[in-house]
Structure 1
Amino acid sequence: MTKEFPASFNKWIDKVKTTFPENEKLHRMFEKCFTNTYTTTLQQTEDGLPFVITGDIPAMWLRDSTSQIRPYLIVAEEDEEMARLIENLVKLQTKCILHDPYANAFNKSANGAGFQKDKTAMTSLVWERKYEIDSLCYPIQLAYLLWKSTNHIGHFTEEFRQALHQIIHVFQIEQQHNELSTYRFERENVRQSDTLNNDGKGTEVSYTGMSWSGFRPSDDACLYGYLVPSNMFLVVVMDYIQEIGAKFYPEDTALIEKSLQLRNEVATGIDNFAKEAHPYYGDVYAYEVDGTGRKLFMDDANVPSLLAAPYLGFCQTEDDTYQATRKLILSRENPYFVEGTLLKGIGSPHTPDHYVWPIALSIQGLTAKTTDEKLAILEMLIAGDGGTDYMHEGVNASNPAEFTRDWFAWSNAMFSEFVLSLCDVYVKGSPLSK
């Protein structure tokens, strides 16, 4: 069941129409995609907080809920009700993290839905307990950008401060996963990418300074435990914590000191273990490493990704290593780069072969340096809707009528953010807005 979107959305719908006056399909697609999270995925918990389902799955992912609501920060600059809604989402995400910082997705109430048979420390409030670094980074990003966009600070509560300490603690434990972590995850009778090997511990790793992640933002298992794009995101949000701590929790010097130390250790780990000289492209980043010398050179469509490093704020778009990495992952050197008769871009092992992800195309557009590349990507996204006016998870690069997930609000939100960037509209405080 859908509901009406606020009148404040019309300013941005009209902005797209005036920027692209002749493109009626884009007008229609943007309006539907931009409003999709608000009109179809917003629910409410028993205590009145906004619960954001991912679309066709009735659970709230910490990652997806942040990404789905992020374009509405632009609306919230002038719409106080929207700002309060986002503030309350941060409060719910904070409660979820304090309940279980290793969980990636939650139920609206303690109803026992989801993957309760998984061999891990499930509770009735947890839908899924795949540990992913990015699940703990995204709520910090949303809290920070809400402050920068609207000057709202009601989400910087004592609970939020406790959650920041909990997040740092988990990241520190997972820097020494083999020795210190008690996290285990196994799912029986599924493909290998849905479970962890080694009795639920995952592939063995050696210390690097980076923090271990069991799963990628696709919810697929990591091949090697140090997921480089997620560690890049970790570095960025530790900077956010230092700024938040200095402003709102100045007496908590431990918070500032621990976040700075962790940030520097992870950044050094990325420099020392995640870079390699490619014979053709020069110095590039690996996607995953294990600290023993094994490296995986690829990129996945889900964010955080290597392609998204400037979008996340880890580096500038012009950075030499990023540009070299970008050339590699947007080529056939990346096993998940797809070229079809209509679309070309990054896909994922999470979806069938020859499927491009609109999320990755939107990120490519947001981080492209030339207008020509941006407009070419826009044309592909418009052509890749499968006749639905919406974005999807993966799309057959030669036949967009074949796609996964009819209702995938994260993809709709990423498309919206990319289209707004073409109108020179960005979330205030976000890296690409500078």
Structure 2
Amino acid sequence: MRFPTSVADHPTVRRAVRRLDDLGDPRLGRTLVRCLDDTLARTVRPMPDGTAFVVTGDIPAMWLRDSSTQLMPYLALAPGHPGLQELLLAVLRRQFAQIARDPYANAFNAEPSGRAHDPADLCDDPWVWERKYEVDSLAFPLLLAHRFWVATGRTDHVAGALRAARAALGVWRTEQDHEHRSPYRFRRADGPPSDTLPNDGRGTPVAPTGMTWSGFRPSDDACHHGYNVPANLCAAAALDGAAALARHVRDAELAEDAAELAAELRAATARHGTVRHTEHGLVYAYEVDGRGGALLMDDANMPSLLSLPLVADVPATDPVYLATRRFALSPANPTWYRGAAAEGIGSPHTPEGHIWPIALAVQGLTGTDEAERVAALRTLLATDAGTGQMHESFHKDDPSRFTRAWFSWANAMYAELALDVADLGTRPLWDATR
């Protein structure tokens, strides 16, 4: 079937626009429609096999993480809309096939073209655009699969989701003992140090903790320490969803395996992934190595520490999360910036002093104050440099200095926040933390 290319006339979208208009700025609703329609019209490519390929925007590849987050806002619109449901199913089927092809890859081509971010990378699979192993690349499709089931009740995708869950379980179990069991290596000769792994492609040394290792962060930058804390908690939430799907189809063995690993990851993160900050108390570190090393920062890319209530089922009222949130949104976090245009979290992936719209949206979505959510939405609108689109990042003093003119993930996060402000988002369906 043909996938929808616009949701401007969707009843939920129309209601959201009316409620946003009540805030006194018609651009809020217009930008919601523009962001939702841009993803459908410009990033989705129907494929001959009935799946759908989704580019990130100005890069012609499909990231497992990005394509999941790009589609998340449509869960609010999918009930009663067969076209959107079929689109979501088509994307999920594509993701499951990509995971089956290579569970260590993070981004793929639409065809076996051999195109790559760097043709010299250690990967000769013509389907793979990039093979930077990131825990979240496996977690996000599982999150999307579970939330699609909750939102629509459909189970067409469950068999594929459970095959992907088994693949993720295998990799995450292996990477609990990265030093001795992992076959994964990544080396890139050209580019900054953040684009390759040291130690002959193995990464910096780690000791077993019960957490699962990741070579790269959600930003696609190399991990400084091998255990990324928000990614581990996100993986645990993804496993919870996989366990629920497995129980639904009476796959008791997979449900037990997924629940067991989820519990291990949470326990190990609580033990090894928290540190005591002199000002903020007990907080989550961003990365640890099991050898005493810990990195105190946050990154705008999800899963981030700030986003734990959204992607990891951590309650927004949890004391450790609240302390971590205060740290992340303060000068104690080296990636937090305050300027003439805005204040918020950036990333080592982009220039110093640049704030990410994704992080501003996450700040609004994780805030317990309605005024904070509305303020975040207005800030996003005020920092789009008049383009009507969200960008990867913008300079804290001058939003006209931005990176990536077309970044669909950021557009999706604006839509998520706008729908949430209008009380029409999907999170009440699946998020028990609010």
TM-score with structure 1 setting the length: 0.96
Within a 5 Å distance, the mapping from 1:193-272 to structure 2 comes to 193-248=194-249, 250=250, 252-272=251-271
1:101 aligns with 2:103: yes
1:114 alignment partner, SS class: coil
Aligned 8 A contact 2:195 2:221 in 1: yes
The amino acid across from 2:241 in the alignment is Y
How much has 1:130 moved relative to structure 2? 0.4
The amino acid across from 1:333 in the alignment is A
- Who is 2:31 aligned against? 29
How much has 1:276 moved relative to structure 2? 1.4
- Who is 1:180 aligned against? 181
- Who is 2:379 aligned against? 380
Tell me the distance in 2 between the aligned counterparts of 1:432 and 1:350. Answer: 32
Within a 5 Å distance, the mapping from 1:25-424 to structure 2 comes to 25-115=27-117, 117-157=119-159, 159-248=160-249, 250=250, 252-424=251-423
* Sequence identity percentage: 41
Tell me the distance in 1 between the aligned counterparts of 2:166 and 2:183. Answer: 18
- When residues 267 and 408 of structure 1 are mapped into structure 2, their CA distance, relative to the original with a 3 A threshold, is same
2:387 alignment partner, SS class: coil
Tell me the distance in 2 between the aligned counterparts of 1:132 and 1:315. Answer: 20
321-330 or 252-261: bigger deviation: 252-261
The amino acid across from 1:189 in the alignment is D
How much has 1:52 moved relative to structure 2? 0.6
Aligned 8 A contact 2:236 2:312 in 1: no
Aligned 8 A contact 2:7 2:13 in 1: no
Aligned 8 A contact 2:45 2:53 in 1: yes
How much has 1:199 moved relative to structure 2? 0.5
Q: Which runs of 5 or more residues in structure 1 are unaligned?
A: none
The amino acid across from 1:245 in the alignment is A
Aligned 8 A contact 1:45 1:109 in 2: no
173-182 or 47-56: bigger deviation: 47-56
How much has 1:390 moved relative to structure 2? 0.7
15-24 or 168-177: bigger deviation: 15-24
Tell me the distance in 2 between the aligned counterparts of 1:133 and 1:18. Answer: 37
How much has 1:284 moved relative to structure 2? 0.5
- Who is 1:17 aligned against? 18
1:95-117: CA deviation from partner (whole Å, max 9, x where unpaired): 00000000000111111111363
The amino acid across from 1:322 in the alignment is Y
Tell me the distance in 2 between the aligned counterparts of 1:414 and 1:196. Answer: 30
How much has 1:162 moved relative to structure 2? 2.4
1:340-389: CA deviation from partner (whole Å, max 9, x where unpaired): 10110000011111110000000000001112222222221111101101
Q: What do you get for the CA RMSD once the two structures are aligned?
A: 1.7
Tell me the distance in 2 between the aligned counterparts of 1:160 and 1:207. Answer: 28
1:276 alignment partner, SS class: strand
The amino acid across from 2:287 in the alignment is E
1:154-190: CA deviation from partner (whole Å, max 9, x where unpaired): 0112x43322211100000000000000100011121
Aligned 8 A contact 2:309 2:433 in 1: no
How much has 1:34 moved relative to structure 2? 2.0
How much has 1:277 moved relative to structure 2? 1.7
Tell me the distance in 2 between the aligned counterparts of 1:402 and 1:312. Answer: 30
- When residues 426 and 14 of structure 1 are mapped into structure 2, their CA distance, relative to the original with a 3 A threshold, is closer
1:48 alignment partner, SS class: coil
Tell me the distance in 2 between the aligned counterparts of 1:331 and 1:419. Answer: 25
118-127 or 221-230: bigger deviation: 118-127
1:216-259: CA deviation from partner (whole Å, max 9, x where unpaired): 111011000000000010111111111111112x2x43312221
How much has 1:29 moved relative to structure 2? 1.6
1:119-169: CA deviation from partner (whole Å, max 9, x where unpaired): 433400011100000000011111111111011110112x43322211100
Aligned 8 A contact 2:20 2:28 in 1: no
TM-score with structure 2 setting the length: 0.96
Aligned 8 A contact 1:301 1:360 in 2: yes
- When residues 9 and 56 of structure 1 are mapped into structure 2, their CA distance, relative to the original with a 3 A threshold, is farther
